[in-house]
Amino acid sequence: MTATTGAIGSAVPVQRGGALQSLRDSWVVAKRNLRRMTRIPEIVVFGLMQPVMFVLLFTYVMGGAIKVPGASGDPNAYKQYLMAGIFAQTVTFAVAGASAGIAEDMTKGLVDRFRSLPMARSAVLVGRTMADLVQTGLTVLVLALVAFLIGWRIHNGVPKALGGFGLLLLLGYAFSWIGALIGLSVRSPEAATSAGLIWLFPLTFISNAFVPVSTMPGWLQAVAYWNPFSATVQACRQLFGNLPPGPAPTQWPMAHAIEVSIGWSLLIMALFSWLSVRKYRSAVG
Protein backbone atom coordinates (compact mmCIF):
# COMPACT_ATOMS: atom_id res chain seq x y z
CA MET A 1 0.00 0.00 0.00
CA THR A 2 2.81 2.36 0.89
CA ALA A 3 4.69 1.52 -2.32
CA THR A 4 1.57 2.11 -4.42
CA THR A 5 0.92 5.43 -2.75
CA GLY A 6 4.52 6.51 -3.31
CA ALA A 7 4.34 5.53 -6.97
CA ILE A 8 1.19 7.54 -7.48
CA GLY A 9 2.66 10.53 -5.66
CA SER A 10 5.78 10.48 -7.80
CA ALA A 11 3.66 10.56 -10.97
CA VAL A 12 1.95 13.78 -9.99
CA PRO A 13 3.91 16.81 -11.29
CA VAL A 14 5.23 19.00 -8.55
CA GLN A 15 5.36 22.66 -9.50
CA ARG A 16 8.64 24.27 -8.59
CA GLY A 17 8.56 27.71 -7.07
CA GLY A 18 10.73 30.77 -7.08
CA ALA A 19 11.12 33.67 -9.45
CA LEU A 20 14.41 32.37 -10.84
CA GLN A 21 12.89 29.00 -11.66
CA SER A 22 9.92 30.71 -13.32
CA LEU A 23 12.32 32.66 -15.53
CA ARG A 24 14.13 29.46 -16.48
CA ASP A 25 10.87 27.76 -17.36
CA SER A 26 9.82 30.79 -19.40
CA TRP A 27 13.11 30.74 -21.30
CA VAL A 28 12.62 27.05 -22.14
CA VAL A 29 9.21 27.83 -23.62
CA ALA A 30 10.62 30.87 -25.43
CA LYS A 31 13.37 28.76 -27.04
CA ARG A 32 10.76 26.26 -28.18
CA ASN A 33 8.83 29.03 -29.95
CA LEU A 34 11.98 30.54 -31.45
CA ARG A 35 13.00 27.15 -32.86
CA ARG A 36 9.55 26.85 -34.40
CA MET A 37 10.07 30.19 -36.16
CA THR A 38 13.34 28.95 -37.69
CA ARG A 39 11.68 25.73 -38.84
CA ILE A 40 8.79 27.63 -40.42
CA PRO A 41 10.56 30.66 -41.97
CA GLU A 42 7.36 31.71 -43.71
CA ILE A 43 6.19 33.11 -40.38
CA VAL A 44 9.14 35.50 -40.27
CA VAL A 45 9.16 36.31 -43.99
CA PHE A 46 5.48 37.25 -44.20
CA GLY A 47 5.78 39.11 -40.91
CA LEU A 48 8.50 41.25 -42.52
CA MET A 49 6.68 41.81 -45.80
CA GLN A 50 3.61 43.54 -44.38
CA PRO A 51 5.33 46.52 -42.68
CA VAL A 52 7.64 46.99 -45.67
CA MET A 53 4.58 47.17 -47.93
CA PHE A 54 3.00 49.75 -45.61
CA VAL A 55 6.15 51.88 -45.79
CA LEU A 56 6.26 51.81 -49.59
CA LEU A 57 2.53 52.38 -50.05
CA PHE A 58 2.27 55.28 -47.62
CA THR A 59 5.47 56.89 -48.90
CA TYR A 60 5.02 56.62 -52.65
CA VAL A 61 1.25 56.31 -53.10
CA MET A 62 -0.31 58.49 -50.39
CA GLY A 63 2.65 60.51 -49.15
CA GLY A 64 2.29 63.16 -51.84
CA ALA A 65 -1.27 63.91 -50.75
CA ILE A 66 -0.55 64.26 -47.03
CA LYS A 67 0.93 67.56 -45.91
CA VAL A 68 3.02 67.80 -42.76
CA PRO A 69 2.28 71.09 -40.93
CA GLY A 70 5.15 73.57 -41.22
CA ALA A 71 7.04 71.49 -43.78
CA SER A 72 5.49 72.58 -47.07
CA GLY A 73 7.78 72.08 -50.03
CA ASP A 74 10.02 69.49 -48.34
CA PRO A 75 9.67 66.21 -50.30
CA ASN A 76 11.23 64.20 -47.47
CA ALA A 77 9.09 65.65 -44.66
CA TYR A 78 6.44 62.96 -44.77
CA LYS A 79 9.04 60.17 -44.72
CA GLN A 80 10.45 61.54 -41.47
CA TYR A 81 6.93 61.98 -40.07
CA LEU A 82 5.69 58.55 -41.18
CA MET A 83 8.29 56.13 -39.88
CA ALA A 84 7.56 56.40 -36.16
CA GLY A 85 3.94 55.52 -36.94
CA ILE A 86 4.94 52.54 -39.09
CA PHE A 87 7.31 51.29 -36.38
CA ALA A 88 4.59 51.54 -33.74
CA GLN A 89 2.01 49.87 -35.96
CA THR A 90 4.41 47.02 -36.65
CA VAL A 91 5.11 46.24 -32.99
CA THR A 92 1.42 46.35 -32.05
CA PHE A 93 0.45 44.04 -34.90
CA ALA A 94 2.44 41.35 -33.07
CA VAL A 95 -0.81 40.90 -31.13
CA ALA A 96 -2.18 38.74 -33.95
CA GLY A 97 0.80 36.38 -33.86
CA ALA A 98 0.64 36.01 -30.09
CA SER A 99 -3.10 35.36 -30.03
CA ALA A 100 -3.01 32.85 -32.92
CA GLY A 101 0.03 31.03 -31.50
CA ILE A 102 -1.47 30.56 -28.06
CA ALA A 103 -4.85 29.54 -29.50
CA GLU A 104 -3.09 26.95 -31.67
CA ASP A 105 -1.21 25.56 -28.68
CA MET A 106 -4.48 25.31 -26.77
CA THR A 107 -6.33 23.48 -29.56
CA LYS A 108 -3.45 21.02 -30.17
CA GLY A 109 -3.22 20.10 -26.50
CA LEU A 110 0.30 21.42 -26.10
CA VAL A 111 -0.71 23.50 -23.12
CA ASP A 112 -2.05 20.36 -21.44
CA ARG A 113 1.34 18.70 -21.94
CA PHE A 114 3.09 21.70 -20.43
CA ARG A 115 0.67 21.51 -17.55
CA SER A 116 1.80 17.96 -16.75
CA LEU A 117 5.38 19.16 -16.27
CA PRO A 118 6.75 20.60 -13.00
CA MET A 119 6.94 24.16 -14.30
CA ALA A 120 5.52 27.55 -13.40
CA ARG A 121 2.02 28.13 -14.71
CA SER A 122 2.93 31.56 -16.06
CA ALA A 123 5.93 30.22 -18.01
CA VAL A 124 3.85 29.23 -21.05
CA LEU A 125 2.58 32.77 -21.51
CA VAL A 126 5.80 34.56 -20.55
CA GLY A 127 7.82 32.32 -22.86
CA ARG A 128 5.46 32.93 -25.74
CA THR A 129 5.52 36.70 -25.32
CA MET A 130 9.33 36.67 -25.00
CA ALA A 131 9.63 34.82 -28.30
CA ASP A 132 7.24 37.27 -29.94
CA LEU A 133 9.37 40.14 -28.63
CA VAL A 134 12.46 38.67 -30.33
CA GLN A 135 10.59 38.35 -33.62
CA THR A 136 9.28 41.90 -33.27
CA GLY A 137 12.79 43.20 -32.66
CA LEU A 138 14.02 41.49 -35.83
CA THR A 139 11.13 42.97 -37.82
CA VAL A 140 11.85 46.48 -36.52
CA LEU A 141 15.53 46.10 -37.44
CA VAL A 142 14.74 45.13 -41.03
CA LEU A 143 12.14 47.88 -41.25
CA ALA A 144 14.67 50.46 -40.04
CA LEU A 145 17.07 49.39 -42.80
CA VAL A 146 14.32 49.78 -45.40
CA ALA A 147 13.47 53.20 -43.97
CA PHE A 148 17.08 54.32 -44.32
CA LEU A 149 17.06 53.21 -47.95
CA ILE A 150 14.05 55.39 -48.77
CA GLY A 151 15.47 58.47 -47.03
CA TRP A 152 14.43 58.31 -43.35
CA ARG A 153 17.10 59.59 -40.97
CA ILE A 154 17.82 59.87 -37.24
CA HIS A 155 18.69 63.43 -36.19
CA ASN A 156 19.13 63.23 -32.39
CA GLY A 157 21.99 60.77 -32.12
CA VAL A 158 22.21 57.03 -31.54
CA PRO A 159 21.54 56.94 -27.74
CA LYS A 160 18.19 58.73 -28.06
CA ALA A 161 17.30 56.65 -31.09
CA LEU A 162 17.94 53.48 -29.09
CA GLY A 163 15.63 54.90 -26.44
CA GLY A 164 12.95 55.30 -29.09
CA PHE A 165 13.34 51.71 -30.24
CA GLY A 166 13.20 50.65 -26.60
CA LEU A 167 9.84 52.38 -26.21
CA LEU A 168 8.59 50.59 -29.32
CA LEU A 169 9.60 47.18 -28.00
CA LEU A 170 8.07 47.97 -24.62
CA LEU A 171 4.78 48.84 -26.31
CA GLY A 172 4.96 45.71 -28.46
CA TYR A 173 5.60 43.50 -25.43
CA ALA A 174 2.70 45.08 -23.56
CA PHE A 175 0.37 44.50 -26.51
CA SER A 176 1.51 40.88 -26.85
CA TRP A 177 -0.15 40.27 -23.48
CA ILE A 178 -3.42 41.49 -24.99
CA GLY A 179 -2.82 38.90 -27.70
CA ALA A 180 -2.23 36.25 -25.06
CA LEU A 181 -5.58 36.99 -23.45
CA ILE A 182 -7.33 36.88 -26.82
CA GLY A 183 -5.68 33.56 -27.68
CA LEU A 184 -6.90 32.06 -24.41
CA SER A 185 -10.43 33.38 -24.92
CA VAL A 186 -11.28 32.05 -28.40
CA ARG A 187 -11.69 28.55 -29.78
CA SER A 188 -9.51 28.55 -32.89
CA PRO A 189 -6.34 30.17 -34.30
CA GLU A 190 -8.39 31.67 -37.14
CA ALA A 191 -10.71 33.42 -34.73
CA ALA A 192 -7.71 34.54 -32.68
CA THR A 193 -6.10 36.16 -35.72
CA SER A 194 -9.26 38.07 -36.59
CA ALA A 195 -9.90 39.08 -32.99
CA GLY A 196 -6.29 40.17 -32.64
CA LEU A 197 -6.40 42.52 -35.63
CA ILE A 198 -9.89 43.94 -35.94
CA TRP A 199 -9.58 46.42 -33.07
CA LEU A 200 -6.03 47.44 -33.98
CA PHE A 201 -7.00 49.28 -37.15
CA PRO A 202 -9.09 51.98 -35.45
CA LEU A 203 -6.49 52.20 -32.68
CA THR A 204 -3.64 52.87 -35.11
CA PHE A 205 -5.54 55.12 -37.51
CA ILE A 206 -7.27 57.27 -34.86
CA SER A 207 -3.87 58.57 -33.84
CA ASN A 208 -1.04 60.79 -34.97
CA ALA A 209 0.69 57.93 -36.78
CA PHE A 210 -0.13 58.72 -40.40
CA VAL A 211 -1.85 62.11 -40.51
CA PRO A 212 -1.75 65.19 -38.26
CA VAL A 213 -4.40 65.00 -35.53
CA SER A 214 -5.40 68.59 -36.35
CA THR A 215 -7.06 67.34 -39.55
CA MET A 216 -9.56 65.23 -37.56
CA PRO A 217 -12.93 66.40 -36.18
CA GLY A 218 -12.64 68.11 -32.80
CA TRP A 219 -14.27 65.31 -30.79
CA LEU A 220 -11.97 62.75 -32.39
CA GLN A 221 -8.82 64.75 -31.66
CA ALA A 222 -9.21 64.20 -27.91
CA VAL A 223 -9.41 60.43 -28.49
CA ALA A 224 -6.32 60.53 -30.69
CA TYR A 225 -4.25 62.57 -28.24
CA TRP A 226 -4.99 60.19 -25.34
CA ASN A 227 -4.44 57.09 -27.45
CA PRO A 228 -1.46 55.12 -26.02
CA PHE A 229 -0.39 54.49 -29.60
CA SER A 230 -0.16 58.26 -30.22
CA ALA A 231 2.00 58.77 -27.14
CA THR A 232 4.57 56.24 -28.33
CA VAL A 233 4.60 57.66 -31.85
CA GLN A 234 5.11 61.19 -30.53
CA ALA A 235 7.84 60.03 -28.14
CA CYS A 236 9.67 58.23 -30.93
CA ARG A 237 9.49 61.27 -33.22
CA GLN A 238 10.96 63.30 -30.40
CA LEU A 239 13.78 60.83 -29.74
CA PHE A 240 14.50 60.23 -33.43
CA GLY A 241 14.50 63.97 -34.15
CA ASN A 242 11.58 63.63 -36.57
CA LEU A 243 9.17 66.15 -35.08
CA PRO A 244 7.63 68.42 -37.72
CA PRO A 245 8.62 72.09 -37.68
CA GLY A 246 6.55 74.52 -35.67
CA PRO A 247 5.59 75.10 -32.04
CA ALA A 248 5.65 72.24 -29.56
CA PRO A 249 2.29 70.57 -28.89
CA THR A 250 0.36 71.89 -25.93
CA GLN A 251 -1.86 68.85 -25.31
CA TRP A 252 -0.67 67.19 -22.10
CA PRO A 253 -0.18 63.64 -23.48
CA MET A 254 1.83 65.01 -26.39
CA ALA A 255 3.86 67.47 -24.30
CA HIS A 256 4.90 64.59 -21.98
CA ALA A 257 4.93 61.87 -24.62
CA ILE A 258 7.87 59.83 -23.30
CA GLU A 259 6.49 59.59 -19.77
CA VAL A 260 2.96 58.90 -21.05
CA SER A 261 4.22 56.21 -23.42
CA ILE A 262 6.06 54.39 -20.64
CA GLY A 263 3.10 54.75 -18.30
CA TRP A 264 0.61 53.37 -20.83
CA SER A 265 2.87 50.43 -21.71
CA LEU A 266 3.47 49.45 -18.09
CA LEU A 267 -0.22 49.78 -17.26
CA ILE A 268 -1.28 47.63 -20.22
CA MET A 269 1.39 45.05 -19.41
CA ALA A 270 0.45 44.82 -15.73
CA LEU A 271 -3.29 44.58 -16.39
CA PHE A 272 -3.26 42.11 -19.27
CA SER A 273 -0.50 39.88 -17.91
CA TRP A 274 -2.56 39.48 -14.74
CA LEU A 275 -5.74 38.80 -16.73
CA SER A 276 -3.93 36.37 -19.05
CA VAL A 277 -2.36 34.32 -16.26
CA ARG A 278 -5.70 34.23 -14.46
CA LYS A 279 -7.46 33.12 -17.65
CA TYR A 280 -4.79 30.48 -18.29
CA ARG A 281 -5.14 29.01 -14.82
CA SER A 282 -8.93 28.80 -15.16
CA ALA A 283 -8.65 27.32 -18.66
CA VAL A 284 -6.28 24.50 -17.67
CA GLY A 285 -7.22 24.22 -14.01
List pLDDT tens digits, range 82-102: 999 999 999 998 788 788 888
- In percent, the amount of the chain with pLDDT more than 70 equals 87
Q: In terms of residue numbers, what domain contains 140?
A: 18-63+72-284
User: What's this model's pTM, rounded to 2 decimal places?
Assistant: 0.86
Q: What angle do CA 188, 191, 197 make, to 5 degrees?
A: 140
Q: Is residue 47 part of a domain?
A: yes
CB atoms within 10 A of CB 194: 15
Q: Is residue 10 part of a domain?
A: no
Domain count, the chain: 1
Per-residue pLDDT at 285: 54
Q: Is residue 9 part of a domain?
A: no
Q: Is residue 187 part of a domain?
A: yes
Q: What is the mean pLDDT of the chain?
A: 83
Read out DSSP for 205-243? HSSSSSS-GGGS-HHHHHHHHT-HHHHHHHHHHHHHT-P
Residue 74 predicted with pLDDT over 80: no
Per-residue pLDDT tens over the stretch 28-61: 778 887 777 777 777 677 777 888 888 888 888 8
Per-residue pLDDT at 17: 53
Per-residue pLDDT tens over the stretch 168-183: 999 999 999 999 899 8
Residue from 224, 225, 212 nearest 252 by CA: 225
Q: Is residue 141 part of a domain?
A: yes
Per-residue pLDDT at 1: 44
Q: Is residue 111 part of a domain?
A: yes
Per-residue pLDDT tens over the stretch 190-239: 888 888 788 998 999 999 999 889 889 989 999 999 999 999 999 999 99
